[in-house]
Structure 1
Amino acid sequence: MPNAEFKIFNIDKNEYVTQYTTYPSKVKHTSFFTDEDGDLILPEALKIGNYRIEEVKAPFGYVVNDNYINISVDTDTAFETDGDTNDAIITVEYSDAPAVGELTVEKKGEVLDGFKGGLLASSYEKEFVYKEGSLAGAKFKVYAAEDIYTADNQKDADGNRTKYYSKGDLVATLTTGKDGKAVL
């Protein structure tokens, strides 16, 4: 995915990597971004050492993955050679989870709280006392109100947008707990 932002931490030096590009003008880079193909190639080669790759900003429709990846750049590190530039390329896979919302439903109603009147009270002086409280065991069905696609416009092998749910699909059946709430 494009536009994921990363920082690279040099573990040996205890500092973040800074690199420069000089064309068409000098620019200092402290963050690095994935291109349209989701690839990130640094402007300069990393020196031998140990590094941590940290995602700073996820692409649209995804959440930041805070599980960092450590890599070593040394003679034992597997790499490919770029056919155009002859630069060494170390491939590291990094994935993010899609951003999703959370739905909380709560069922409340009157629940018996007590009784007024005693055994010797007349019938018009006796009554049940209710209060508003949480109701457990209420069932809710959640349906897709419209076709729901991935937020980042991913496409399947046929070029169609990846769909989570079609309009009218049952997404989930929720049952409230003791607190009267159910979460999706």
Structure 2
Amino acid sequence: MTSAKLLVDAFGRVRENVRGAVAGLRQDELAARFDPDANSIAWLIWHLTRVQDDHIADVAGLEQVWTAAGWAKRFDLPFDDAATGYGHGAAEVAELDGISAELLLSYYDAVHAQTIDYVAGLADADLPRIVDTRWDPPVTLGVRLISVVDDDIQHSGQAAFVRGVLLRRR
């Protein structure tokens, strides 16, 4: 198996997790928070999608789907277009309260498509390329891609946990 096939598989699993966490939920369930400072499913999925969009666009030399395809306007959030959710507090999480499952999943699917288009074309020799010199050691493309997969899996798992609790309460 090539690195490209492995990455396509990994991001495909993330997609399954994301869709499974969101499918069939109402807006109030997507916005539910177990504590005033907790993250909602809507925010978790938006955040992991924004991070993936930001990081993949950066390493691929592409514009983010968020701005290139008009998703920032569709979501109409009171954040800078560059916001990915890092540093967000309770007030920012609450801004996602009116977001529908359809909007979340449509944006995620658009980002997923750009991600797959990019990683499917990678060769093993591409992965050692340095993509971020702000760290010691500098971050390679391979490390950055695994970091995105890891972040996506963690956040989609958190969303799946919240979903499970909510469905038990129905």
Q: Same fold (TM over 0.5)?
A: no
Question: Normalised by the size of structure 2, how large is the TM-score?
Answer: 0.24
- Tell me which of the two structures has the higher relative contact order, counting C-alpha pairs closer than 8 angstroms and 6 or more residues apart: 2
Give the strand-richer structure, 1 or 2.
1
Larger-Rg structure:
1
Give the helix-richer structure, 1 or 2.
2
